[in-house]
Amino acid sequence: MKTVLVVGGTSDVGRAVALAYATAGWCVQLAGRDGPGLEREAADIATRTGMAVTTHRIDILDTDAFPAFADTLPALPDTVVSVVGLLGEQARAETDPVHATTVMRSNFEGPALLLGLFAERFLARGHGTLVGVSSVAGERGRASNYVYGAAKAGFTAFLSGLRNRVAKRGLHVVTVKPGFIRTRMTAGMKLPARLTAEPQAVGDAIFRAAETRPRDVIYVKPVWALVMAIIRALPETIFKRTKL
């Protein structure tokens, strides 16, 4: 029986990913900072699916603890999915380097180093799948969220390089670009319906891309591929006058 590790397991997307895998008959390792929250989600998923769900504490900013975290898992998972992310506040990040650092580390350094650690263990075993949830925000820096976007750009580049390195050695690396998602993190924001995905749709898309219809890079809402192609194509002289 296969096992998936979901990092960020108490988030709306993390829960949706865990539920998609458990529904397909996978055992789930649910990881995050919120111990009681993990226990609640694990109990609910186990009740709904009848699959084993274990919980594991991890702080994505405590990178020194990653090896011990991996060592204490009941089994080396077949797939690791990182849905960790922190939107933060752009205006605050512009003047508060501590906040900017937290946003950058939460979206890039922590997830990249954790997936890199599991990549080495998967290479030693000979197979495995790594999934990183990045963002369309990383495709071009925009005034409204460039600190978050810069971190996601780094994460996207890391996943691309890792995929290039391990593709011929039995590992599959998936980059996920969801666009807007209707979650607690975006509560109160006015989101365009055609560009906004529900957590369940993201979870199902990740499972398909990682396990049943392998893909390297996915936009959960395909329309985002066109939107970002247009944004990337704008000359800088025009782009710098936009409000995005």
Does residue 197 or residue 93 have the better pLDDT?
Answer: 93
Summary mean pLDDT of the chain: 95
For the purposes of burial, counting CB atoms within 10 Å of the CB of 177, is it exposed (0-12), middle (13-18) or buried (19 or more)? buried
Q: Tell me which residue has tokens 């752009």.
A: 90
Q: Does the pLDDT at position 189 exceed 80?
A: no
Q: Would you give the DSSP letter of residue 8?
A: S
Encoded tokens for 101: 């650092």
Among 168, 164, 134, 166, CA closest to 151: 134
Predicted local confidence at residue 165, as pLDDT: 98
Q: Does the pLDDT at position 52 exceed 90?
A: yes
Predicted local confidence at residue 29, as pLDDT: 98
Q: Tell me which residue has tokens 């969801």.
A: 178
Pairing status of strand 128-133 against strand 171-177: parallel
In 45-189, the DSSP E strands lie at 53-57, 79-82, 128-133, 171-177, 180-181
Which pTM was predicted? Answer: 0.95
192 — pLDDT class (breaks 50, 70, 90): confident
Q: Does the pLDDT at position 110 exceed 90?
A: yes
- The amino acid occupying position 49 is T
As annotated, the active-site residues are 148
Decide if 182 contacts 140 (C-beta within 8 A): no
Among 206, 213, 207, 209, CA closest to 133: 206
Q: Does the pLDDT at position 124 exceed 80?
A: yes
Predicted local confidence at residue 194, as pLDDT: 85
CA dihedral 76, 35, 22, 60 (to 10 degrees): -50
Q: Does the pLDDT at position 67 exceed 90?
A: yes
